[in-house]
Every structure is written in C-alpha cells, then in structure tokens.
Amino acid sequence: MGSIAKIIAQRLALGVLTLLIVSFVIFVSVNALPGDFAQAIMGQGATEEAVTAMRKDLGLDQPYFQRYFSWLGNIITGDLGISFAQMNFASNLGGDQLISVADQIYPRFINTMWLAGFAALIAVPLSLTIGVLAALYRNSMFDRIANIGALTSISSPEFFIAYILVLFLAVLNPVFLPVAEVTPGITLGERLYFLALPALTLTLVVTAHMMRMTRASIINLLASPYIEMARLKGVSPMRVIVKHALPNALAPIINVIALNLAYLITGVVVVEVVFTYPGIGQLFVDSVINRDIPVIQACVMIFASAYILLNLTADILTILSNPKLRHPK
Amino acid sequence: MSNLLFVIAVLAAAVVGGYLFRLIGQKTTQNRPYFRDMPFLVAFGYVFGAILIFLCARLYLQPTTLESGVPNAVTIFFRWTVHLIAGLALAAFLFRLAGRNIGTDGSKRLFRQMPITASFGILTIILYCIVALMPEVFAPYGEAEVFAKSYVYPFGDPAANGDPAHILGTDEIGRDILSRLIFATKNTMFIALAATILAFLIGGIAGLAAAIFGGWVDSVISRSVDVLMAIPALIFQLLLLSIASFWANSYGIPMVLFMIVIIAVIDSTRVFRLARSVGLGIVAMDYIEAAKLRGERLGYLITREILPNAMPPFLVEFGLRFCFVFLTIASLSFLGMGIQPPSADWGTMVRKLADFIKFAQFLPNAALLPLFPALAIAILVLAVNFVVDWILDKSSGLKG
C-alpha cells in the first residue's frame, strides 16, 4: 500500500502546484489590462486625484509580485475582494455596506452545484447504459440510431438544445418551466421541478460525449484476447461483461466520467444564461460583459479549481482501480 | 402527471408486446433460429419502434388548426421537423445518386461505399462554402440594410404578420433575416477557419518540435500546455476576451483579430497533444532513423518524412477542431462576447430573437425566428461531424 499512498501524494502535490500556476496565469492576464483597474473602475471622466486615491486603496502602487502574493493570500483566506459595481456604487453614493464578492458568489455556487449534480445524476447512469448497449449490439439498428442521436446532440450548440427543449417541453407541452429563477428557501421538490429543463439540457450535451467514449472503450476491450477466450470456453455473455470486461473497463470509464463532468463546468455557463438561473455561470457572464474584474477573477479561479479537482479525482481513482498497483508483487 | 403515465404505459406495452412478438414468431415459424435466439431486448426494440412510428404518424396526420381556430402548434412543429429531416435526407440521397453516376471511376467508387450521412455532410459543406464565398450573390438585401417593419414573421403570409419581400422575416431593428443568415455564414466561417488554421500552425509546430527534440524542450512546452489546459476553455476565452475588449477600445484594434488569436491559442493546446503523440510514434520509426543517418536536415525530416505520415490523423482532427471552434464562436456570440454588431452572426441572432420561443403555442411562425440561426449552426457542425465519423470509420478498420 505504501507505493499507492506515495503516488497519490505526488498527484495531490502536482494538483496544488497546477492550481498555483493557474492562479498566476489568471493574475498576469488580468494585469495585462491597458492602464489599470483604478482607471477602469472610475471611468474616463475621473479626476487624476480620485484615480490616485483609488489606486492606493486597491494597493496598485505596490510592486507586481507583492500584489500577486497578497491577492493569493486573500483568496486562501476566503477574501475575494469587492466587485467594481459595488465600489462604484459606494464611491458615488457613499454607502459603506459593501457586499463582498465571496458573499455574492456563495449562494450562486450552491445553486450551480445543484444544477451540475442533478445533471450528473441523470447523465452518468444513462450514458453508461446506452454506451455499453451500443458496444454490445454494435452496428445494429440501436447502435446506429444512438450514434446519429449522439452526433446530432454533440453538433448542436448548448443553447439550441436548450431552446428546443423549452419549445417542446415548456411551451408546446407545458410540463416544465421555461425559466429557472430559484429563490432561497424553496423546498427540494420545487427546486428539482425548476431545475428539470436546465439539467435535461446538460444531460443531453454530456450524455452524447460520454456515451460515445464509453462505447469506444468497451469495443476496444471486447477485442482483447482474454474476452475471446472467455467466450470460447462458453461463459454466458452477461458474465463476460460483468466478470471479465467490467473490472478492466473501470479505469477508462472513470476517466470518461471525470472528463465529462469537467465538461459540465463549461456547459453550465451557457445553460444558466438561457434559463436565467442564478448560478455562478450567469454571474461570470454578466461580469465579463460589465468587465467587473474582481468577480471575473474569482469566478475563473473557482471554475479552474473545480476542473483541476475533477481531473485529480479521476487520476487517483484510475490508480486505485488498477489491480497491478493495488496488489504489488 | 398524465404525461408520465402515458410514457410508462407505452414502455409497459412495449415490454408485453415484445414478449408476445417473440413468442408468436417462435410458434408460427416452428422455432426458426432467428426467433429462437432473439434476445428480449431486440424484440422489445422492434415493438417499441413500431409503437413510436405509429404515434408519430398519428401526430403528423392531425389537423393543423383546432376546432377553436387556434393553431395546433405541436403538429405544425412536428411536421416542420419531419419535412426538414426528409428534405435533407432526400437531398443527400440525390447527391449520392448523382455522385455514383457522374465523375471518374475513383469518385464513383467513393460514392458507392458512402453512407447517406456522409453524403449529407459533403453536400452541406460544399453548399455552405459556396454561400460563404459569395454571400452578395445569394442575399436579397445588404448585411446591415434596415427596413421599416421590424419583427416580420417568416413565410411571407400577410395574414400571419408576414411579408413576401422578407421570406424569413425581419429582426428587432428590421433587417432581413435571410440576408443576415447568409452574411453570417461568411463572418462565422471565416473566423472559425482562420482560428483553426492558426491553432494548427501553433499546436502542430510546437507538438512536432516537442516530439523531435524531446528533452527539456518537450518538458517545457508540455508543462505549459498542461497549465493552459487546466483552465476550462470557454471560461478562459471569456476572461481573455473581456480583457482584450479593453485593448480594442483603447488602441482601436479590431476585436475580430483578438478573437481569432485567443481562440487559436487556447485550442492549439489540444492540437499540440495530438501532434506530439503522432510525432512521437513516427519519430520512433526506422525510416526516420535511416533519414537521420543519411544526414538529412530537420526541414527535410519534417516536410518529407514526418508530415506525409501524420496527415490522416491531422485531417480528422482538423475537422473536429473546426467544429469545436465553430461552436465556441457561436457560444461566445450568444453570450455577447463574440462577433460584434453590425456584423451578422448566428449566435447573436439567437440571443436577440430568443423570446419568440415563448409564443410558439399561438404564433408558430414567430417561434421559428430564433431557430433558423441555431439550425444553421447545428446543420454545418453536424455535417462536418458526419464526414469525420465516416473517414474515421473507413480508416479504423473496425468494421462489422
């Protein structure tokens, strides 16, 4: 077991290192702005003194690396800064009740987790089933229809799928709601009802990818000699799949799931905008359009961390599912 | 609730029907192997398919207006869908038929082995390219020409708020939708193609260099690519574009340029991975070793020995990357950070006209307004995907 623990520790360290470098990349790209934040917040009409004061407020007069480390330190302690919109509001109206970015993001983060979790809960079992069936009945009618369906779904932009679902399931047959404006304090049933269409959209998008990858990896596996051997000695088809193929398919399938869950992160952005769902994706798009740098920075950090975490989990699970590593000689 | 019950009833009927279908088949054919060895799932599939076809036919044949005079929107939309798919399939079929009978022996043979999906893909790509190359010929009006009446509905029926002069209607400020769709083909395809080619240049060169030189060059490039890939692509593109918009504003550089470069750089990481692995596979070959021993220079090695052998996977990847970039541009435009007005663009059109979806029940024509541009994207990407799938299937040797 010692070797596994060591490999996992290495992967964890690598993940943390990647996150650090990513944070630096984000910091550098944001600081590539012409002029600087202070000018950006105050706008063109601001006087020179006001801009200098704002610069001092934000700590922009300090050296580059010092700023990076203080930003990083703030992130680690959970202080994501204050949005430009809030600051502008305060500097014009003199209010002192500023809502921090962390407070803005927290409820939305929970909402997004609900959406992604719900979608994953439908998508993973569904696509694994279809993928395995398509691989088993390769080139049958079912396989062809599944393949064309998957290609169509991959080829459609997320918003197209979303609007088609709205058209058929919310407008023509009013089964679900066309918007998902959840409010705090709703019951679980209501939340799931609100979430149905956004989650279904994400499910369709992700299922197509996941099903194709599952099918490909199972087909690869079924071509291996030991499967042929098992078949030849007369093992039942079900047993071939469950006993012989599945343990070896575990690693590729875990990878497929993790990759696609990571894909959910990007899909969430468009879907939240279509359904005006108050999640982190919508906040991100809004702040990108309004060029609200502190919020953008925080959102990108969260998205990137989730992405890295998912890939890291996949890595570690793959190692754990590898019998050669679990039972070292 | 009744919907759910209906779905459950259909599934239950298919389960029972599948069982009966197999039983009857076995009895009436004296246990022919086909029915004797039929798995239950296959029998279920046949019956379920038959039920679906029956339900679809019933839906298709319903009248388009209810007794109360309200349009029967479900049937109207279903008929449109069926007509669209049938029309596309027919066009693909005729194209394949023409290809089988016209042209050289080689091209005839190619068309003979072609599935209908691939012929649809090739036909569509050709049509889109023609439209993109000379939009002025096909568009009835100019790209930004504004007319008096905004929100004209499609199909030119004056009774349904249509106008024969604008066969697909007009948008929120009265521009002709058909013309906008046609000009958007040029705008979007140009950016997507430019970004894909640039991504291939960057990623391909870096990947091959990493494969050929190995050592620290490989480590440095690979690790930087890993870092870039650790940020979700769409998110990173949005971040960079929002920063680029500051630059575009203060220095007057066109935003399109930034878009192409940003999309290309982020996409080149994926190309790099492929180029590197393909390159590594080829570099290990004996003929490369032989060429090296002959004392050939690096340029010769790349252009004469490596590239010709790396071409097939690159071509397939080019198709897939193009699709990906195309969808990225559509998403970016939809989110408001892509191609900027007054340039015509599909993603932006969908966003601006999206609210009409909610009127589908009573104004089915109006609900088509946002669906046209979305369809335009989906059909092109689907076409490229079908062709790529066909090439992959042809070259993989994984056949029936």
Kindly list the domain boundaries of chain A, sorted by start residue: 2-93, 105-326
Compute the Cα dihedral for B80, B85, B90, B91 and give only its sign: positive
CB A28 within 8 A of CB B237: no
Contact indicator for B176, B141 with CB cutoff of 8 Å:
yes
**B76 touches A at CB < 8 Å:** no
Q: Do the chains contact at A152 and B243, CB–CB below 8 Å?
A: no
Give the mutation candidate from A14, A132, A133, A160 for the B interface (greatest B CB count, under 10 A): A160
Using DSSP's 3-state secondary structure scheme, residue B214 falls into coil
- Cβ of residue B378 closer than 8 Å to a chain A Cβ: yes
Contact B238 A219 (CB under 8 A): no
In whole angstroms, what is the distance from residue B170 CA to residue B154 CA? 8
Query: Is A254:A317 a contact under the CB 8 Å cutoff?
Result: yes
CB atoms closer than 10 angstroms to residue B227: 17
Each residue's pLDDT tens digit, B96-114: 999 888 888 888 888 888 8
In whole angstroms, give the CA distance from residue A34 to residue B94. 56
Phi, psi (rounded to 5 degrees) for B72: -85, 85
pLDDT single digits (tens) B16-56: 999 999 889 888 888 888 888 888 888 888 899 999 999 99
Give ranges for CATH 1.10.3720.10 in chain B: 188-396
pLDDT of residue A11: 85
Residue A176 confidence (pLDDT):
84
Question: Which residue is closest to B324 within chain A, CA to CA?
Answer: A155
| Contact of B14 with B51, CB cutoff 8 Å | yes
ipTM: 0.85
Give contacts of B 241-300 with A, CB under 8 A: 241-243, 245-247, 250-251
Supply the pLDDT for residue B269.
92
Q: Take residue B340 and report the two structure tokens written for it.
A: 């900027």
Which residue of chain A has the CA closest to B262? A29
Ramachandran category for residue B252: left, alpha or beta (phi over 0 → left; psi -120 to 50 → alpha): left
Facing A159 at nearest CB: one of B235, B245, B334: B334
Q: Considering only the beta carbons, identify the residue of A139, A171, A300 that sits closest to B360.
A: A171
pLDDT attached to residue B130: 94
Nearest CA in chain B to A158: B331
**CB-CB under 8 Å, A157 with B347:** yes
Tell me, rounded to whole angstroms, the distance of Cα A309 from its chain centroid.
10
**B239 vs A26: CB contact, 8 Å cut-off?**
yes
B328/chain A closest Cα distance in angstroms: 8
**Number of Cβ atoms within 10 Å of the Cβ of A84:** 20
Query: What pLDDT, on a 0 to 100 scale, did the predictor assign at position B398?
Result: 45
Which chain A residue's Cα is nearest to B245?
Answer: A291
Match 């390769």 to its residue by tokens.
A138
Residue B32 at interface with chain A, using a CB cutoff of 8 Å: no
**Looking at residue B400, what is its pLDDT?**
35
In sequence order, the 6+-apart residues with CB closer than 8 A to the CB of A255 are: A314, A318
Q: Do A22 and B231 touch (CB under 8 A)?
A: yes
Residue A179 touches chain B, beta carbons under 8 Å: no
What number of C-beta contacts closer than 8 Å exist between A and B? 169
Is the domain defined by A105-326 classed in CATH 1.10.3720.10? Answer: yes
Q: Which residues of chain A, if any, have pLDDT below 70?
A: 1-2, 34-46, 58-59, 86-97, 323-329
Query: Could you tell me if A240 lies within 8 Å of chain B, comparing CB atoms?
Result: no
User: Is A34 an 8 Å CB contact of chain B?
Assistant: yes
- Residue among B159, B161, B83 at smallest CA distance from B367: B161
Question: Which numeric CATH code is attached to B188-396?
Answer: 1.10.3720.10
- Name the pTM for this structure: 0.86
At B262, list the tokens.
Answer: 């940003």
- Are the Cβ atoms of B400 and A138 closer than 8 angstroms? yes
What's the rounded Cα separation, in Å, for the pair A132 and B283? Answer: 36
Minimum CA–CA partner of B348 in chain A: A159
Rg of chain B over CA atoms, in angstroms? 27
The answer to whether the Cβ–Cβ distance between A270 and B375 falls below 8 Å is: no
- Specify the pLDDT at position B121: 94
The shortest C-alpha distance from B230 to chain A (Å) reads: 6
- The alpha carbon of residue A303 and the mean position of all alpha carbons in its chain are separated, in whole angstroms, by 6
- Give B328-372 as a DSSP string: HHHHHHHTTSSSPTTS--HHHHHHHHGGGGGGTTT-HHHHHHHHH
> From CA B272, how far away is CA B275, in angstroms rounded?
5
* B78 interface with A at CB cutoff 8 Å: no
Residue ranges of chain B whose pLDDT lies below 50: 398-400
Q: How close does chain B come to A325, measured CA to CA in Å?
A: 25
Q: Is A32 on the interface with B (CB under 8 A)?
A: yes
